[in-house]
Structure formats: structure tokens, C-alpha cells
Amino acid sequence: MQHSATTSTKHMPGVGARVLVVGGGVSGLTCASALLECGFEVLLLEKDDHARIASSVAAAIWHPFAVGGARTDRWAAATFAWLVDCARDPASGVLVRRGLECLREAEAPLPGWTALHPAWRRARADELPHDRPAGLVFDAPVAEMGVFLPWLRRQAESRGARIERRAVASLDECAREAGIVVNCAGLGARELAHDAGLEAWRGSVLRVERGDLESFVLDSHGAEATYIVPRSRDCVLGGSVEPGRESLEADPATLEAIRARCVARLPRLAEARVLSHATHLRPWRREVRLEAERRPDGTLVVHNYGHGGAGVTLARGCALDVAELATQGRVAQALLHDAPLEARRRTPTMDAQPAMRPG
């Protein structure tokens, strides 16, 4: 598959070092591929059955929602291009759908994603629900996670990644297996990275018959998120945002409220048969944590978690940054530990370089 300049890693044959990725959700699998492209050897460990993690529940439309941090725009833009590219392969489970985002006021400020999106337009009056004065029409990738996650997994495995079902008790344990660890544990990073700033934001969705529905509808306002996302065979209705509520037990009142809000947006959905429902926890943090941490034993841990309601929307952009940090870390490790002493003595450092003299 070809990737455009904004979505590609520079291939670096010979980096060769082993990286241990913790987490088999959309973040971990996408990082695994980006690391393999850079020449790393990848071992990915996952605690849970991949059908039972937050990534498998996502409506998975590209739309930055319930996520924080200054770098999200860049990550979302790179991921948009990558998802459109993935959609060229029908086996990926990614579709590009056209749809509408409703705005509550005619003069409402434009959502931030409009600065990243290559083509969007204002909705005409006949495209809007009667109680919404404005809206935006645009194309967005939608990933069917039941297809997309196994496809990402196959992509990683076919490039040489080893994937094992194993819980990791601590980052120290990981450090015994690899010099570079990538922490994509989602909410599991609360324990692994002792991060009390990582919160569970519960969300529920319904899956209904799609009928002939082709276009998505988004109508979010503050913490209230209403979305209708038609996929290939079914349609996802969402959503809910319940910070701090950690039970995975669905709440019938919440599900009914979601359905009612979606029917209010699109009355034809009143007839759509409900096929299933799902509830999971978004790993929310004030800011996505994507940074490298050098541990006292020399291990490099690259953290990549806290993507809130936008883990799919940001996956590839984050993975590119993770691969870059891992590559920089590997170069530093090689200089410090791998090179023979003589070579290290010869390695120019800032201190060792002669001062610049004029003339």
C-alpha cells in the first residue's frame, strides 16, 4: 500500500532492535506497523481478547471528539489521509462516507477539524433537520472495527510482528524483555504508568439495521454526543459520555435515550431493528500522553495513551511520532551502549567538538 508523505515513516533498514508494544487496540496495532516500517522487530502483548476492548466498540468515524492536547490536529490530519488510503483495500473494513455535522447556531464558530479537512462545505437548508440552523457536509472515513482490527493485526503479523496474549504487570517487567517499550495500554496505563490523570469516560452505542442509509449525521453539543454512522451492513447509533462511570453493564435508560435522540435527527430510524448494543470506557486524559521516558536502567518507554473519544481518529499520526521517538531513542542507545569503547571515544559529541572559530 502506498502512503502519502504525511502518513509515511521513512524506512530505516537495519535499526533492527526489539520493541515491546503493550496493547493490541487501535493504538498498539498502528504503532506496531509504523515501528516495523522503521526496521524494528516488534513483540506486541495484549491482556484482553481484542473483541472486548474499547477499540472494538468505537463507532470509529474520523472526528476529533472528547480528546485534548495541542498536537491532536496534526495527528488527526495524518490519520485522515492514512484511513482514506486504507479504504482503497476493501478487506480493511474502512469506508469513506459523506455526511452532515449539525451546528446549533447559524453563526457558530467552525469546529477545529475544518482547518484540517481537505474539502467540506456548508449544508444547504434542505439538507438540515428543521431544528438546526446550520451544518457542514463532508466526507469522513469510517472503520468497522470488527474488520479493521483483525486487518491491522494481519498487516503487522505479515510484516513480522509477534503478537501474544499476555498481561504485563509492570513496565519494569517489560524492560527485561526489550530495550524499548511502547505503552499503548489505553486505560490500563492507569496502573502501568501510575497515571491518576487518566479517566474512564463511559460510552454506549447501539447497532441497528442500516436499510438504505448511506450518510452519517453528527450532532454533538458539549458532552452530549449524537451520531448516526452507517457502515457496510449495519448502522451505529450513539452516543453517551459518562465520566467516571466504570461499569461495562449497559444502562437501558441510556440506550433508549440514544435511540430517541437519533430518531429525532432521522425519523426513519424509528423502524430500524436493534441488532445489539455495546458499552465501553474511553481512556480520557486532559492531554494525550505521547512522550518518551528514559528509565534509570536505560530502557526507553514511549507512552501513547489517553486518546479519549478519538483513538481511531488519531491513530496513525500518533504512531508516526511514536516510531520517530523510538528511532531517536534507539540511536541514543546504540551510541551509549552498543558501540565499542573506541568507537564511542570517536563519536563526536557537542562537548568534544572543537569550538567554532571565526575565519
Ligand X SMILES: Cc1cc2nc3c(=O)[nH]c(=O)nc-3n(C[C@H](O)[C@H](O)[C@H](O)COP(=O)(O)OP(=O)(O)OC[C@H]3O[C@@H](n4cnc5c(N)ncnc54)[C@H](O)[C@@H]3O)c2cc1C
Binding site for ligand X (CB under 6 A): 22-28, 45-48, 53-55, 57-61, 63, 167-168, 184-188, 192, 203-205, 238-239, 280, 282-283, 305, 307-313
Which residue lies nearer to ligand X by CB, 15 or 318?
318
Q: Are 87 and 139 in contact (CB under 8 A)?
A: no
Instruction: Report how far residue 102's alpha carbon sits from residue 218's, in angstroms, rounded to the nearest whole number.
Output: 6
Which residue lies nearer to ligand X by CB, 21 or 300?
21
Q: Quote the least distance from Cβ 99 to ligand X, whole Å.
A: 12
Beta bridge partners of 44: 21, 163
Helices (H) and strands (E) in the chain, counts: 9, 14
Q: Quote the least distance from Cβ 270 to ligand X, whole Å.
A: 22
Q: Is 109 helix (H, G, I), strand (E, B) or coil?
A: coil
Q: Quote the least distance from Cβ 206 to ligand X, whole Å.
A: 10
Q: Quote the least distance from Cβ 87 to ligand X, whole Å.
A: 15
Secondary-structure breakdown of the chain: helix, strand, coil percentages, each rounded to the nearest 5:
35, 30, 35
Structure letter (DSSP) for residue 240: -
Q: Are 330 and 17 in contact (CB under 8 A)?
A: yes
Which residue lies nearer to ligand X by CB, 28 or 179?
28
Q: Quote the least distance from Cβ 68 to ligand X, whole Å.
A: 12
Which residue lies nearer to ligand X by CB, 136 or 184?
184
Which residue lies nearer to ligand X by CB, 167 or 343?
167
Which residue lies nearer to ligand X by CB, 46 or 195?
46
**DSSP per-residue letters across 259-283:** HHHHHHH-GGGGGPPEEEEEEEEEE
Q: Quote the least distance from Cβ 133 to ligand X, whole Å.
A: 25
Instruction: Report how far residue 254's alpha carbon sits from residue 257's, in angstroms, rounded to the nearest whole number.
Output: 5
**DSSP per-residue letters across 51-70:** GGSHHHH---BS---S---T
Which residue lies nearer to ligand X by CB, 15 or 262?
262
| CA-angle at 188, arms to 187 and 192, nearest 5° | 130
Q: Quote the least distance from Cβ 263 to ligand X, whole Å.
A: 19
